[in-house]
Structure 1
Amino acid sequence: MGLTVRVGCCGFPISRRKYYSVFSLVELQNTFYNLPSIQWVEKLRMEMPTGFILTMKAWQVITHPSKSPTWRKLKGKPGGILENYGWLKPTNENIAAWEKTLDIALKLNAKVIVLQTPASMPYNDESINWTKEFFKQITSVTPKDIVIGWEPRGRWVSEQALNVLRNILEEYSITHIVDIFKRKPVYMHRINYIRLHGIGKGETNYKYKYTDEDLEKLYEMLIEISYRDSYILFNNVHMFGDGQRFKQILANKGINVL
């Protein structure tokens, strides 16, 4: 079948040293709230074992408007006009924030930059056009070996939006990031990127613990998609244990799991 699956967590739920001994993939979460210092980046790069894959969540000011509750965790307000931030608007402020995010990604040798937009992001002709322009601008400055992934929410993942979403993703080679228990990706670029936020009503149920039956279903959905490279990122309270159990299930099925 030729499938390769990497399993990891959104953030480090335990000490990094122990984490490295179990998983070969992590998605950094701290990069969403505040861009890290160069000293922190260099320390992380030095300690990561050979072959370890790192992805990162893009700085929140690009995806979330200044009135978002997550902005309360910003250590310092970014420059420019605050209303110009968020929702993937192609403003000077957002593009500058992308360039700062990209600089950190390059220093970390990150393989994927994750853009997760909130349900509040409008879906209309204006936002469709500005989203296209945003991706046009950032893909022109981003090296081809870095995958850009987008996890939209709200009306952007409604049935009436899927064709528009697919066209944008295809045009700019953006991989569609999903929680596969809620929806299937409409387009994948180089990586099938799955973020698992727990099963239940709404987009997230972080306290949920995946059952063995859930993980068997996850395996079956990966087989159905049959994409050569998949990154599976658990993003729930029990992510460390759930990820380990899923790795074992994949190994028992004869899947090349890393």
Structure 2
Amino acid sequence: MAMNADIRIGTCGYSFPDWKGVVYPPNVRPSLYLVYYARTLGFNAVELDSSFYYMPTIPLIEALLQKTPPGFLFTVKAHRSMTHDVWNAMKPANPGRPAFPELASGLKNAAFLAPAFTEFWEAVIPMADAGRLGTVVLQYPPWFRDTPENRRFLLMTRDLLPRLSLSIEFRDQSWHKEDTLAFLRQEHLGYIAVDEPQLRNLLPLVPAVTSDVAYLRLHGRNPNWFGASKETRYDYLYSKEELEQMLPSIRTMAASAPLMFIMTNNCHRGQAVQNARDLQAMTLFPEQNRPQQ
């Protein structure tokens, strides 16, 4: 099966305190990390992670474009106000547990949510117009289950973000079915395949493509996932064997879309960079990885 996609491999985020002295030389200023990531490390894509925590602005997006060469592509994670903070009420958190939405109270209405989507769209559309936006990553929380209301919410999201490629990551098992993929295909929404710990309610790796962008995110396989700090959760280094086991899935996906992203999210102490480089070697020189005939 030919891998005819333009395969872009990079990391989820590029600026972490624990990458200093590991990925980046200690004397490189954080404002130059992205320049170093693209020029010295030689990556041609990155998933912008900060946009989940801080709403992106036009000046930020312009700076990102200026710091990277013309062929460099970004995928941009949607701000949490578009994926996580969309319910009317949150249950108070028990000590040591995350606050959970009061699902019965339902999603906020479109008029209330629309300004955040507009603000995000206005910031990233110049990137899309410049041909530098691969796709917008919409990562939904574990309590975003497959319901008619939530499917309508996905369509509203699409309508509020016109002219942008959208790719969706689910974190609840209820979406793990063929009908979900058919729905995404029909509505021109992309599916994000994930490699993550095989724990209750998390999804297995399904090498599906539902739009013209194929997307694989590698979260690591740390069994200490729920209730763990972000640092602990993503502390995992894939072995070469584990990555090689994913090659058939990667080939399947790369044969189904003109553009594919493989993004490593095991960001702890730069492990994502090492595994992204491992994957580059395997996909750029696949003949070295095939069993000898």
Do 2:207 and 2:249's aligned partners in 1 also have CA atoms closer than 8 Å?
A: no
Residues 61-80 of structure 1 aligned to structure 2 (within 5 Å): 61-65=81-85, 67=90
Distance 2:14 2:165 in 1: 22
Q: 1:185 to 1:218 in 2, by over 3 A?
A: closer
Equivalent in the alignment of 2:249: 221
Do 1:27 and 1:55's aligned partners in 2 also have CA atoms closer than 8 Å?
A: yes
Deviation at 1:41, TM superposition (A): 2.2
Equivalent in the alignment of 2:123: 104
Which amino acid is the alignment partner of residue 280 of structure 2? K
Do 1:179 and 1:196's aligned partners in 2 also have CA atoms closer than 8 Å?
A: yes
Under a length normalisation based on structure 1, what TM-score does the superposition of the two structures give? 0.78
Deviation at 1:9, TM superposition (A): 0.6
The CA deviation string for residues 25-65 of structure 1, in whole angstroms up to 9 with x for no partner, is 11111110111333222222222211000110001012113
Deviation at 1:165, TM superposition (A): 1.8
Do 1:89 and 1:131's aligned partners in 2 also have CA atoms closer than 8 Å?
A: no
Distance 2:168 2:107 in 1: 10
Q: Establish whether residue 243 from structure 1 lines up as the match of residue 245 from structure 2.
A: no
Q: Establish whether residue 169 from structure 1 lines up as the match of residue 184 from structure 2.
A: yes
CA radius of gyration, larger in = 2
Listed as ranges, the gaps of 5+ residues in structure 2 are: 16-23, 25-32, 93-100, 197-203, 289-293
Do 1:58 and 1:114's aligned partners in 2 also have CA atoms closer than 8 Å?
A: yes
Deviation at 1:142, TM superposition (A): 3.5
Distance 1:99 1:41 in 2: 15
Q: 1:118 to 1:142 in 2, by over 3 A?
A: closer
Do 2:34 and 2:67's aligned partners in 1 also have CA atoms closer than 8 Å?
A: no
Aligned with residue 142 of structure 1, among 154, 157, 161: 161
Do 1:176 and 1:185's aligned partners in 2 also have CA atoms closer than 8 Å?
A: no
Q: 1:216 to 1:155 in 2, by over 3 A?
A: closer
Equivalent in the alignment of 2:151: 132
Residues 45-124 of structure 1 aligned to structure 2 (within 5 Å): 45-65=65-85, 67=90, 91-109=110-128, 110-123=133-146
- Percent identity reads 23
Do 2:195 and 2:220's aligned partners in 1 also have CA atoms closer than 8 Å?
A: no
Under a length normalisation based on structure 2, what TM-score does the superposition of the two structures give? 0.70
Q: 1:227 to 1:43 in 2, by over 3 A?
A: same
Distance 1:253 1:52 in 2: 23
Distance 1:233 1:101 in 2: 22
Equivalent in the alignment of 1:10: 12
Distance 1:219 1:31 in 2: 30
Aligned with residue 189 of structure 1, among 196, 207, 211: 211
Distance 1:244 1:27 in 2: 15
220-229 vs 14-23, which deviates more? 220-229
Give the SS at the match of 2:157.
helix
Distance 2:251 2:214 in 1: 12
Give the SS at the match of 2:205.
coil
Deviation at 1:243, TM superposition (A): 0.7
Deviation at 1:223, TM superposition (A): 1.8
Give the SS at the match of 1:189.
coil
Which amino acid is the alignment partner of residue 214 of structure 1? E
Deviation at 1:132, TM superposition (A): 3.0
Deviation at 1:90, TM superposition (A): 5.3
Distance 2:172 2:50 in 1: 24
